[in-house]
Amino acid sequence: MSVLVNKDSKIIVQGFTGSEGTFHAEQMIEYGTNVVGGVTPGKGGQEHLGRPVFNTVEEAVEKVGADTTIIFVPPAFAADAIMEAASAGIKVIITITEGIPVADMVKASNYIKHMDCRLVGPNCPGVITPGEAKVGIMPGFVFKKGNVGIVSKSGTLTYEAADQVVRQGLGITTAIGIGGDPIIGTTTKEAVELLINDPETECVVMIGEIGGQLEADAAKWYKESGSKKPVVGFIAGETAPAGRTMGHAGAIVGGSDDTAQAKKKIMREHGIHVVDSPAEIGLKVKEVMG
Amino acid sequence: MNLHEYQGKEILASFGVRIQRGIVAHNSKEAVEAAKQLTAETGTGWHVIKAQVHAGGRGKGGGVKLAKNLKEVEEIAGNIIGMNLITPQTSAAGKKVHQVLVAEDVYYPGDSETNEFYMSVLLNRGTGRNMIMYSTEGGMDIEEVAESTPHLIFTEEIDPATGLLPFQARKIAFNLGLSGTAFKEMTKFVSALYKAYVESDSSMFEINPVLKTSDDKIMAVDAKVSIDDNALFRRKQYAEMRDLREENPIEVEARAVGLNYVDLDGNVGCMVNGAGLAMATMDLIKMAGGEPANFLDVGGTADAKRVEEAFRIILKDEGVKAILINIFGGIVRCDRVAQGVVDAYKNMGDAIKVPIIVRLQGTNAELAKEIIDNSGLAVHSAVQFQEAADKVKEVLS
């Protein structure tokens, strides 16, 4: 088992013929991901990377049965792409685009709220289920198959964590990059919940950073769930100054409750195995899994 | 992107929000002219001279003063312009004041008492919607109000599909204890304020105080406005308001070459790909006994040119005693990055005088280590994250 994406996912790429879309779609196909086509308005009817190009997502759903999308559309048009995918009935919408205006995301997240779909991102590395589907921009070879789920706000830090886990002789069920923006579709809690409920996942790594309440919400949910599956946590940004945005638009300390220290405290209080050093994530996973 | 008070007020006024009027002056002579003009336009007798810097608590630092005649306008403006204003929100060195806002006096006596409120518009990250936060306790530090009297802070969340509804504006005016003319004025004020927030693509409005004047007008006496950086591409008129003098010069330079850099006070510089890994690297530096001198995300393409630019930016900070490069190569191959580091190092001649630790992990990491180790340069290499931390400890001791 796995969550969100697997070998049967029928994946389309929005922003298919652009340079980013092309590059990463090629990598995804090379990995063995089931990419069934792509969307670039105005280029419908063409073929790109041996896959059909459609003008609209609706058409892609009709003609090739797409149920999952990955969005590389530029920031100014990305929120529209999310709403188009949701409206066409796509179930999993993974948005890589960084730099979408907040006002656009307020609109898009409100629009899709009561629809039967799940948004992952934006400003995220995507989702990978090793050996089945890479729907993202991560280096596939780092993620070996196994029983550890990963949830993270960051790209390279996810690769780092996966690499550490693999070096301990373990592997990954699914790694979910949830993104570093102030408004994201799938929260830390929702991603952790998906993995805890996945029968194959035996341990979850939860990587957060300063800003917002997502990690605290996830920690509270975890304790209430009564789950016996161990969760290993790390929060980046202990040394970040208050009031400054650290790269990710959402990574900013706003008050006393969204610092790294405060988050780690609440995570520990709710039974999460928190490491202070980012170099010890893999070791801790090995330790808690026995 | 943060704006000055006068710029924030300009934006508010352009959407019909009533503001305390004022004119910007760069020296005491201009201040006197501004005061005269303001008196002619508004009838104000007294003037408030307000330092224009990007920092809160200006009044506490002596950056906001009342002038009762033109001679005082000249004196006070002369004193404030050029001073290093120290407030609870600036560093100990303070911020240099380049300009003042000469504003009308709006606390004039009249039929009713004046009253100050607090109002801000911001994103509720938990719900993904904007909200108006307001309080009867205006003119004070809102964090203190939240601490001591949290029941006096109200919030009103706005459905993006409908925008602010009339009943919500009325509720706000009622909760602020208003009636009659002031009530109607407040509903207009709130509606215009929310419209301004949405249509300017702002990420934060803080109006403290919102004033009810003695003749029942509602106006913004101060304005703290931040525009969403991601939306500046479609708000060019606001992008032009950026005042680079208010920003850290090294950060300005870094942005110009497309590097995401935040200046910090420590002794170990770092160069990392990815924001999360960059923060984690800063944390690791601290655990190794150092203090991070910066946050720097070099992004996906860490080639020689980019590495060289990053080196130059980091080395502008004289407190840097060592540099840690931490790259997790995924699609970017580590051997390419290693070659980039070696080339950049060579190009820079003897500009680099501090030890460099390079940790490359991911695609072709071992090959990358070989390139570094065989380069003949005084560069320490590492593959594991912990090794990098140990090397930092080693070079600092």
User: Looking at A118, A145, A167, which one is the last position of a domain?
Assistant: A118
Q: Examine the domain organization and report whether A158 and A276 are in the same domain.
A: yes
Give residues with Cβ within 8 angstroms of A7, minimum separation 6: A32, A34, A129, A132, A133
Distances (CA, A) of B117 to B65, B143, B207: 20, 14, 9
Residue A3 domain-assigned? no
User: Where are the extended beta strands (E) located within chain A?
Assistant: 11-14, 35-39, 47-48, 51-54, 68-71, 92-95, 118-120, 126-129, 133-136, 145-152, 172-177, 203-209, 231-236, 273-274
Kindly state whether A139 is in contact with chain B, defined as any CB-CB distance less than 8 angstroms: yes
Query: Is B330's CB within 8 Å of A156's CB?
Result: yes
Percentage with pLDDT > 70 across chain A:
100
Could you tell me which chain A residue has the CA closest to the CA of B279? A237
Regarding whether A150 and A113 lie in a shared domain, the answer is: no
Min Cα distance B272 → chain A (Å) is 9
Residues of B serving a catalytic function are 118, 206
Q: Which residue in A104, A239, A261, A276 has the most chain B C-beta atoms within 10 A of its own C-beta, making it the best mutation to test that interface?
A: A239
For residues A57 and A163, membership in a common domain is answered with no
d(CA A143, CA A149): 11
> Does residue A128 sit within a domain?
no
Q: How far is A242 from chain B (nearest CA, A)?
A: 11
Contact yes or no for B385 and A279 at CB 8 A: yes
CATH number, residue A231: 3.40.50.261
A275 and A181 together in one domain: yes
- pLDDT single digits (tens) A40-94: 999 999 999 999 999 999 999 999 999 999 999 999 999 999 999 999 999 999 9
What's residue A1's pLDDT? 66
Largest CA distance in chain B: 84
Task: Identify the domain containing residue A255 by its residue range.
Answer: 137-287
Among chain B residues, CA nearest to A283 = B386
Do A172 and A33 lie in one domain? The reply is no
- Alpha-carbon gap, residue B92 to A106, rounded angstroms: 38
Report the predicted TM-score, pTM, of the whole model to 2 decimal places: 0.94
Residue A123 maps to a domain: no
A281 in the same domain as A141: yes
Termini Cα distance of chain A: 22
Q: What are the tens digits of pLDDT across the range A30-55? A: 999 999 999 999 999 999 999 999 99
Pair (A276, A158) in one structural domain: yes
Asked if A109 lies within 8 A of B282 by C-beta distance, the reply is: no
C-alpha angle B42/B45/B49, rounded to 5°?
90
DSSP symbol at B212: E
CA A253-A259-A264 angle, to 5 degrees, is 155
Residue A41, preceding peptide bond in cis (omega within 30° of 0)? no
* ipTM score for this prediction: 0.94
In a domain, A64, yes or no: yes
Judged against a pLDDT cut of 90, whether residue A273 lies above it is answered with yes
The answer to whether the CB of B356 falls within 8 A of the CB of B345 is yes
- In this complex, how many residue pairs, one in chain A and one in chain B, have their CB atoms less than 8 Å apart? 164
Domain CATH for A80? 3.40.50.720
Partner B contacted by A71 (CB < 8 A): no
A19 is in an annotated binding site: yes
Tell if the CB–CB gap between B203 and A137 is shorter than 8 Å.
no
Q: Do A106 and B385 touch (CB under 8 A)?
A: no
Residues A194 and A250 in one domain: yes
A48 and A172 share one domain? no
Residue A22 sits in the same domain as residue A86: yes
Question: Is A17 marked as binding a ligand?
Answer: yes
Give the Å distances, CA to CA, from A241 to A82, A246, A251, A281, B15: 33, 9, 11, 24, 34
Q: Give pLDDT tens digits for B255-296.
A: 999 899 999 999 999 999 999 999 999 999 999 999 999 999
Residue finishing a domain among A118, A145, A162: A118
Inside any domain, residue A130: no
Strand, helix or coil for residue B97: coil
Kindly tell me the burial class for residue A201, based on how many C-beta atoms sit within 10 Å of its own C-beta (0-12, 13-18, 19 or more): buried
The 8-class DSSP code of residue A240 comes to P
